[in-house]
Structure 1
Amino acid sequence: MGRGELTDSAWARIEPLLPAGGGRGGRWRDHRQVINAVLWKLRTGAPWRDLPERYGPWKTAHERLRRWTADGTWDRILDQVIVKDDAVGNVEWTFSIDSSSVRAHQHSAGARKKGAPPPGGSKRLAVEGEALGRSRGGLTSKIHLAVDGRGLPMACVLTPGQAGDNPQLLPLLDQVSVGRDGRGRPRKRPERVLADKAYSHPSTRAALRARGIAFTSPQRRDQIRRRHAKGSRGGRPPAFDAGLYAGRNVVERCFNRLKQFRDLATRYAKRAAYYRAEILIAAIILWLREDPQDRP
């Protein structure tokens, strides 16, 4: 096992979730070797053509990434990893939500508009224009992330870099669907959401209240002034617990862990579907590292 590759315990959890056949009567190259190739690419941020020979042909690894992005394999693996942890009571259902901008390399632009692959085959992927946009940092993408109380990824959404944060809060929560390890409906609602001022909007508070989700977020100054200007008609300020809000830093720490994968710290992928797949793969690795048997 090389540096950054799958451990035996991690492979034991992933292997049963991978497609079995190679298609058209052929045999697929060893799945573990190919996933380790993808992890090498994520860790180093190097071009596919520089893939070391021990991982086999680079085209094989890239094609496997493309296929499993199209059929939603990465989503299913992340779902099952979370289900197993939730079955033993490890998932903490106080979510923290935030976003982080990622500088897009010039090679990430110029994806063909015709002949583009379907949006991931995954019902969760909803991005337009390959999630590339212009902001003060230049050509950027923005990762919107929801993590549990331990700072482990539960859902992510990609948008262009100039997109606002607040409109993505509900789409993030809509992605959460943790199945039961047995009978029962999937769990879709956290107990509480922690978010910064960018998400503090009356419509967001009302939407979460309607879903029965507690919300902890400080008010913006303009909202405070507007409420004071109305006098008694402005109503009471929303409840805010500074002690609970201090726990929101787990989402910042999660971004730091994800961006240790250099291929995520700078976006090189032309397709938003592939870049999102890389985020999911990194998220799977973060979850697997929490397994006591998988820790070094």
Structure 2
Amino acid sequence: MTLLEVTTTILICWIIFIIAWERISPYRKGLPFFREGFWIDLVWYTIIQSYFLQILIFKFIIPSLQNFIHWHGFNFFKSWTIAEQVLFFLVTHDLYIYLFHRLQHASKFLWRTHEAHHSGKEVDFLAGSRSHVVEIIINQTIEFAPIVIMGAHPEVIPIKALLDAMFGMFIHANVNVKMGKLKYFLNSPELHLWHHANYIEVFHANFSTKFSVWDHLFGTVYDPGKKPGNLPENWGLHYEYPRDYFLQHAFSVKRFDEKNLLKFKWFKHYYELRPNALKTLQKLFGRKKEAAVMHLPPVENEVPELIVNEGR
């Protein structure tokens, strides 16, 4: 088997394991498998968007960067093992993601590229795939371009990509897991699901992706524990957000009321032509209740001010 076949097999097994784990030991009981936004996350974000962006990043953007800076055959990691190279890029890229993630929550402009990731009213293993096109292009270019340009071993990319995917599913998974002392070093659902909660108190907290040590080190951790009443119940945004893939990207450029667009014939036709598989599945498996949304006072800035105490 090739390395790609091995990593693909591992990823499929991991997906099956996570799905079973969510059914057996859920963080939030009663969350249906075909929850709101499931098909958008699966079809548009996980399959279609990922496929085309990988072609764009690896076939055009990274080679163009390599030609622009004239770095070919650079072998910085000549004496490093593959494991050491993977670990190096895991740590350095995770620190970058933490810092850029904080900036996205602090900047009104960058928030437009990140709000889609927080728009899901239900969070599970698949929710992590919902990310704006611009956000993916920026993060994955900065993630993988140094691996290519600095002359790392070719196997580093598929191995790191596998670990990224597995960890991304894990921290968003609807699983009841206790990390114990490991939570001070590794991220987990018990910390990251708070980050997606629809509460102002956690808007500027728990930014880490893989290593929660960054939140502890920089004083942005929010960890009330798992005492009764200390679990998030509502997820999503505190303002209305489109549920359609294309409208979500349009909304990041220009704000609009989705309902008002129905007065246009072209938009009404578009809505009527869209396959509504989720509604069909809800009829087959039972209609679920809408997730509650916390209504906040209207504010000019969609990015709330920092109100999380350091070290909390």
Q: Give the TM-score normalised by the residue count of structure 1.
A: 0.25
The structure in which a higher percent of residues are helix is 2
Q: Tell me which protein shows more strand as a share of its residues.
A: 1
User: What TM-score does the superposition give when structure 2 sets the normalisation length?
Assistant: 0.24
